[in-house]
Structure 1
Amino acid sequence: MTRPTDVPLSLMRMALALLDQRGEGDGHVAVHLRAAINARMGGKPLQAGDELDNEGQ
């Protein structure tokens, strides 16, 4: 049986990859995308002083 694809998560990851290719991977759009990806995967929202982890994105 084929596993269902999480289309919104896939699209956000593709958009983030495109931003990285264009050298805009550290801009405010990318930050919001990373937060949305984390939320979609069940992560907790960032708190003041938290740092983003670019590994595994």
Structure 2
Amino acid sequence: MAVSELALEIQAKGEDEVGIFAVNDLFAGPVVPSVRWLVPLAFDTRVRFPVIFEGTP
């Protein structure tokens, strides 16, 4: 988890939309496919950090 008031100053570059969303609302619209498993992973208390990914799928 990261906390910073700088997040309130976020700006999109190009045509992409950028914003701050409540976790419960995050999947209501289109998201990058990896976000669908990364966000739940971040909240899973059974996961030990750091998580190290090796290789490619």
Superposition TM-score, scaled by structure 2 size:
0.29
Bigger proportion of residues as helix: 1
Larger radius of gyration: 2
Superposition TM-score, scaled by structure 1 size:
0.29
Larger RCO: 1 or 2 (CA < 8 Å, sep 6+) = 1
